[in-house]
Amino acid sequence: MGRHTLKTNIASLKGDILVPGDKSISHRSVMFGAVAEGVTTVTGFLMGDDCLSTVSCFRQLGVEIEHKDDQMVIHGKGWDGLKEPKDVLNVGNSGTTIRLLMGILAGRPFHANLIGDESIGRRPMTRVTKPLASMGAKIDGRQQGEYTPLSIRGGGISGINYHAPVASAQVKSSILLAGLQADGLTTVVEPEKSRDHTERMIRKFGGTVEEDGLSVSVRGGQTLKGTNVKVPGDISSAAFFLVAGAIVPNSCITLKNVGLNPTRTGIIDVMMEMGADITIDVTDEDHFEPVGDITIKTSQLKGTTIGGELIPRLIDELPIIALLATQAEGETIIRDAHELKVKETNRIDTVVHELSTLSAEIKATDDGMIIHGKSKLTGGVVSSHGDHRIGMMLAVAALICNEGVSLEQKEAISVSYPQFFADLEKLM
């Protein structure tokens, strides 16, 4: 723990970064590999704490997972090969692990208990426990299944037609994973389109999924087959360098191997709209997940309004976009982003509080925030509040601060980007 002194007043950032593996895709590669038949080899797997929580949960469910060089090798035994865990499954800080795992366990005829850290204990779970219970899984948890610890006894489930109240890939994926094991057809209809990595994974592992606008359907009783997965770099990790390159003077950064799935590229659209000097070189238009290199140079920025269907396409990037907006001329409004309140922290509160400490002009609204730029950022003692994306956003903010900045709870960053500080220093 303790305080970590951040580098401030940086003159320029220059160079290339090979962006670490996508967190959403890394989780899914292990989960699908575990329930598929035969071996799955994953390259580019993100060795962050969250994805390692997924690996340890599946090991407890009897799946052999090896770590060889830069590969994860998963010895899948099919849905029926999963075993009742002898002990509690601990998901750590990972919302994706617990919500998707609940979907898998909903179809398994055994009992499991799930817990996580203190942040997980505050995050809403009825968004998955209710629809999974309506499919026939027996689930309980604190406050009628809203909070961990959760217990589940799955098996004998039937398909549902579910209209999700929020655009959430975790909710959609959880129900689809249950649906693959259920009797009949399962359909999820979302209010806006969320990331589609699960749909792509189902196809990659030989399964079938139908998409029609905002509706996604799977038939039950599908057997999946092990495959090789190449995980692209995480655009949500690249985002910290996209913003750093835009706001630090005299900068030019190329981010290599970034996943460019259109359900994730909202940050690029917003940065371009704000006037950022970005160029994209698509290197792989692969049908699984598109990939490319992105170059960002120091940019003159103007404020914008961000809301509606754009929100799910950049939900995890809103903390770093808030920082970007402090360096844009005029007002930036972020709206329709209530979901920020139920992330690893309440990200409306943590972003507004921490950026205000650094003298930004930012205020919270009920569904987002309003930022006035351009501000000179000063310095002070800030905290990640145990939230990896808040910690990295603050480290990027410090680069343009003209006084000292120290960061509390820096270690949270290893959830999604263990080598973040080493990569940042390479550019200085």
Chain residues binding ligand S3P by CB under 6 A are 24, 96, 168-170, 173, 194-195, 315-316, 339
Cα distance between residue 256 and residue 427, in whole Å: 14
Least CB distance to ligand S3P at residue 394 (A) = 18
Q: Confirm or deny that 297 is annotated as ligand binding.
A: no
Is the Cβ–Cβ distance between 194 and 166 less than 8 Å?
no
Nearer to ligand S3P, 148 or 194 (CB): 194
Cα 260 to chain center, whole Å?
14
Q: For this structure, is 69 an active site residue?
A: no
Q: Confirm or deny that 151 is annotated as ligand binding.
A: no
Least CB distance to ligand S3P at residue 315 (A) = 5
Least CB distance to ligand S3P at residue 119 (A) = 13
Least CB distance to ligand S3P at residue 425 (A) = 26
**Other CB atoms within 10 A of residue 149 CB:** 14
Residue in 234, 316, 387, 423 annotated catalytic: 316
CA-nearest of 300, 291, 235 to 268 is: 235
* Burial class of residue 42 (count of CB atoms within 10 Å of its CB; 0-12, 13-18, 19+): buried
* Burial class of residue 68 (count of CB atoms within 10 Å of its CB; 0-12, 13-18, 19+): exposed
* Burial class of residue 73 (count of CB atoms within 10 Å of its CB; 0-12, 13-18, 19+): middle
Q: Cβ contacts of residue 85 below 8 Å, gap of 6+? A: 60, 61, 112
Nearer to ligand S3P, 53 or 96 (CB): 96
- The total number of residues shown for the chain amounts to 428
DSSP 94-122: -HHHHHHHHHHHHTSSSEEEEE--TTGGG
Q: Confirm or deny that 158 is annotated as ligand binding.
A: no
Q: Confirm or deny that 195 is annotated as ligand binding.
A: no
Q: Confirm or deny that 222 is annotated as ligand binding.
A: no
Nearer to ligand S3P, 169 or 271 (CB): 169
Nearer to ligand S3P, 54 or 298 (CB): 54
Q: Confirm or deny that 95 is annotated as ligand binding.
A: yes
CA-nearest of 192, 202, 197, 205 to 165 is: 192
Least CB distance to ligand S3P at residue 269 (A) = 18
Nearer to ligand S3P, 230 or 347 (CB): 347
Q: Name the token pair of 396.
A: 């990027």
Catalytic residues: 316
Residues making up the binding site for 3-phosphoshikimate: 23-24, 28, 168, 170, 316, 343
Residues making up the binding site: 23-24, 28, 95, 123, 168, 170, 316, 343, 347, 389
